[in-house]
């Protein structure tokens, strides 16, 4: 199941099962066996079903399956014996054990032996469908991991500057465990990429990396996004929703701009970090997930603590290992490598001819202050490659960051200058540029422009800009 969230830097949209999954069923109850067959069929999966363990094992010897629903009590061979056999003969098959006589010991034994999930009878079609989706997501994620191992190009950290070397050394150290990590730095320095590197180098890399920008979510919706909700939990909750914590189970949840959490959400996040349990909105059921939480912010959280805007106990939970990512203006020696890296990415995407930049252009890039940091440099290179036709970039295209005012005096002299049009373009391009620097987050773009968020939205409407 392709996620609507980024997984190791890749993008997708939530949808129904996207591939024709092959499912094996071993269940001696013919009614339940038929029910499972029907659920598979209605979800686009193909199913082979048997009423005993021996027949299922023979099938596993001759065929491969994505998913195997196996009853714990089967004639001919017990379910746990079948599970062990399946793990040896078909390690790529995800096995779901089923039983009407569930005990903690049986469930523990099944999970220790390598079961993908455990179902207690009776269960609904919706529960089975959720397992299908979960298996689909795991399959797609494992494909992404294999792609990374085959050195298919992906975004990566670039830098030989001393500050970046320290960052990379810290990443290697903290990736080994689950200690709290707080990534600090200005907007655009690559905090999410640092978190992604920690995830990719950890034992959690076979599970999801789920990033979420707190500042881009209305305060009233943050709890529902993180914890999920039940159907009817509040107005507009037309169906149940899985929260980001559950989606990240086994993997890493990256909370960007964690300093923007409300006081109430700070308390709820702290409780989860302490107990590893949470409740969906509208539910009394406590859920357990195994998730590493990595935070990031461009705020001075110690100052926020001192001034009473951020909980001290949550700060210390998150800030076990702080990683400070330096701004691009402090790592000028990395600019040539970053320019080369972004050219290689966007030349391939756009089928552009550009392979390098002239010495003059590199001098311009090296002397520019880059207020938007690495994200701004990336935007400049992508724009330049879209406009340049030669193999060497002879123009920096920095003047396109804002509407150029060159020539406006000549237009005044010629009598063809309209100041209202000029101001209109300056204002529109300034807003667009601020939004690019802040990755579309309006509250941050508004701060950069010295505006309130509501004022920014009003201006965007007046200027005919889509929200």
Q: Do 168 and 308 belong to one domain?
A: yes
The boundaries of the domain holding residue 103 are 22-147
How high is the pLDDT of residue 244? 92
How high is the pLDDT of residue 449? 84
Considering only 135-144, 246-255, 302-311, 359-368, which range has the smallest mean pLDDT? 135-144
Q: Do 171 and 300 belong to one domain?
A: yes
How high is the pLDDT of residue 144? 60
How high is the pLDDT of residue 4? 27
d(CA 383, CA 255): 29
Measured CA distances, 408 to 151, 380, 426 (Å): 50, 24, 12
Q: How many CB atoms lie within 10 A of CB 235?
A: 6
Q: Do 333 and 282 belong to one domain?
A: no
Percent of the chain with pLDDT over 70: 84
Q: How confident is the model at residue 403 (pLDDT cuts 50, 70, 90)?
A: very low
Q: What SS3 string covers the chain?
A: CCCCCCECCECCCCCCCCCCCEEEEECCCHHHHHHHHHHHHHCCCEEEEECCHHHHHHHHHHCCCCEEEEECCCCCCCHHHHHHHHHHHCCCCEEEEEECCCCHHHHHHHHHHCCCEEEECCCCHHHHHHHHHHHHHHHHHHHHHHHHHCCCCCCCCCCCCHHHHHHHHHHHHHCCCCCCEEEECCCCCCHHHHHHHHHHCCCCCCCCEEEEEHHHCCHHHHHHHHHEECCCCCCCCCCCEECHHHHCCCCEEEEECHHHCCHHHHHHHHHHHHHCEEECECCCCEEECCCEEEEEECCCHHHHHHCCCCCHHHHHHHCCEEEECCCHHHCHHHHHHHHHHHHHHHHHHHCCCCCEECHHHHHHHHHCCCCCHHHHHHHHHHHHHHHCCCCEECCCCHHHCCCCCCCHHHHHHHCCCCHHHHHHHHHHHHHHHHHHHCCCCHHHHHHHHCCCHHHHHHHHHHCCCCC
pLDDT (tens digit, 9 = 90+) per residue, 334-356? 999 999 999 998 888 888 889 99
Q: Do 170 and 298 belong to one domain?
A: yes
d(CA 65, CA 77): 19
CATH, residue 100: 3.40.50.2300
Q: Do 230 and 363 belong to one domain?
A: no
How high is the pLDDT of residue 111? 65
Structural domain contains residue 268: yes
d(CA 344, CA 341): 5
Structural domain contains residue 118: yes
Q: Do 205 and 129 belong to one domain?
A: no
How high is the pLDDT of residue 203? 85
Q: Is the pLDDT of residue 381 over 60?
A: yes
Q: Do 427 and 451 belong to one domain?
A: yes
Structural domain contains residue 5: no
pTM over 0.85: no
* First CA to last CA distance, the chain: 29
Q: How confident is the model at residue 7 (pLDDT cuts 50, 70, 90)?
A: very low
Q: Do 380 and 358 belong to one domain?
A: yes
How high is the pLDDT of residue 365? 94
d(CA 16, CA 33): 23
How high is the pLDDT of residue 150? 45
Question: Is the distance from CB of 402 to CB of 427 less than 8 angstroms?
Answer: no
How high is the pLDDT of residue 2? 32
Report, as an integer, the average pLDDT of 26-47.
Answer: 91
How high is the pLDDT of residue 115? 77
Q: Is the pLDDT of residue 404 over 80?
A: no
How high is the pLDDT of residue 270? 96
Q: How confident is the model at residue 416 (pLDDT cuts 50, 70, 90)?
A: low
Q: Based on the structure, what is the number of domains in the chain?
A: 4
How high is the pLDDT of residue 48? 92
Q: Which of 90, 119, 147 is the last residue of a domain?
A: 147
Q: How confident is the model at residue 6 (pLDDT cuts 50, 70, 90)?
A: very low
Considering only 114-123, 301-310, 316-325, which range has the smallest mean pLDDT? 114-123
Q: How confident is the model at residue 102 (pLDDT cuts 50, 70, 90)?
A: low
d(CA 379, CA 437): 8
Considering only 40-54, 174-188, 433-447, which range has the smallest mean pLDDT? 433-447
Q: Do 172 and 312 belong to one domain?
A: yes
Q: Do 105 and 235 belong to one domain?
A: no
Q: Which of 347, 365, 400 is the last residue of a domain?
A: 400
How high is the pLDDT of residue 81? 85
Structural domain contains residue 3: no
Which one has a higher pLDDT value, 267 or 60? 267
Which one has a higher pLDDT value, 140 or 332? 332
pLDDT (tens digit, 9 = 90+) per residue, 418-442? 767 667 777 887 888 788 878 788 8
Q: Do 311 and 364 belong to one domain?
A: no
Q: Is the pLDDT of residue 393 over 70?
A: yes
pLDDT (tens digit, 9 = 90+) per residue, 267-286? 999 999 999 999 999 999 89
Which one has a higher pLDDT value, 113 or 93? 93
Report, as an integer, the average pLDDT of 171-180.
Answer: 90
Report, as an integer, the average pLDDT of 170-196.
Answer: 92
- Output the average pLDDT for the chain: 83
Report, as an integer, the average pLDDT of 92-114.
Answer: 72
How high is the pLDDT of residue 362? 95
Q: Do 177 and 124 belong to one domain?
A: no
Structural domain contains residue 17: no
How high is the pLDDT of residue 66? 87
CATH, residue 448: 1.10.10
How high is the pLDDT of residue 389? 85
């Amino acid at each position: 199941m392709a996620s609507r969230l980024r997984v190791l830097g890749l993008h997708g949209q939530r949808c129904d099962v996207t591939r024709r999954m092959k499912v094996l069923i071993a269940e001696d109850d013919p009614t339940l066996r038929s029910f499972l067959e029907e659920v598979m069929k209605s979800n686009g999966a193909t199913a082979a079903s048997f009423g005993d363990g021996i027949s299922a094992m023979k099938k596993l010897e001759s065929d491969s399956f994505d998913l195997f629903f196996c009853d714990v009590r089967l004639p001919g061979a017990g379910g746990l014996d079948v599970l062990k056999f399946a793990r040896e003969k078909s390690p790529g098959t995800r096995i779901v054990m089923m039983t009407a006589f569930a005990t903690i010991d049986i469930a523990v034994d099944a999970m220790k032996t390598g079961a993908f999930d455990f179902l207690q009878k009776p269960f609904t079609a919706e529960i089975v469908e959720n397992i299908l989706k979960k298996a689909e997501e795991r399959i797609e994620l494992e494909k992404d991991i294999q792609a990374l191992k085959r050195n298919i190009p992906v975004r990566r950290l670039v830098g030989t500057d001393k500050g970046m070397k320290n960052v990379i050394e810290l990443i290697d150290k903290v990736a080994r465990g689950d200690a709290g990590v707080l990534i600090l730095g200005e907007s655009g320095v690559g905090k999410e990429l640092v978190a992604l590197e920690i995830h990719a180098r950890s034992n959690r890399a076979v599970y999801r990396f789920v990033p979420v920008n707190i500042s881009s979510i209305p305060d009233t919706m943050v709890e529902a996004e993180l914890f999920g909700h039940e159907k009817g939990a509040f107005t507009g909750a037309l169906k149940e929703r899985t929260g980001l914590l559950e989606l990240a189970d086994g993997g890493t949840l990256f909370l960007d701009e964690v300093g923007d959490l409300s006081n109430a959400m700070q308390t709820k996040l702290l409780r989860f970090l302490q107990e590893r349990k949470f409740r969906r909105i509208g539910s009394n059921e406590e859920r357990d997930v195994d998730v590493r939480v990595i935070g990031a912010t461009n705020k001075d959280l110690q100052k926020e603590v001192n001034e009473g805007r951020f909980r001290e106990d949550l700060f210390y939970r998150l800030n076990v290992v702080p990683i400070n990512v330096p701004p691009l203006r402090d790592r000028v020696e990395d600019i040539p490598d970053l320019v080369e890296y972004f050219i290689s990415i966007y030349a391939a995407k756009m089928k552009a001819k550009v392979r390098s930049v002239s010495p003059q252009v590199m001098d311009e890039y090296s002397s520019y202050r880059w207020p938007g940091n690495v994200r701004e440099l990336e935007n400049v290179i992508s724009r330049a490659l879209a406009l340049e036709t030669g193999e060497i970039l002879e123009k920096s295209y920095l003047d396109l960051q804002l509407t150029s005012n060159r020539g406006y005096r000549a237009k005044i002299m010629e009598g063809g200058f309209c100041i209202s049009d000029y101001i209109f373009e300056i204002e529109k391009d300034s807003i667009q540029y601020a939004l690019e620097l802040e990755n579309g987050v309006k509250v941050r773009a508004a701060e950069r422009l010295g505006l309130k968020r509501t004022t920014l939205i009003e201006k965007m409407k007046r200027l005919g800009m889509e929200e």
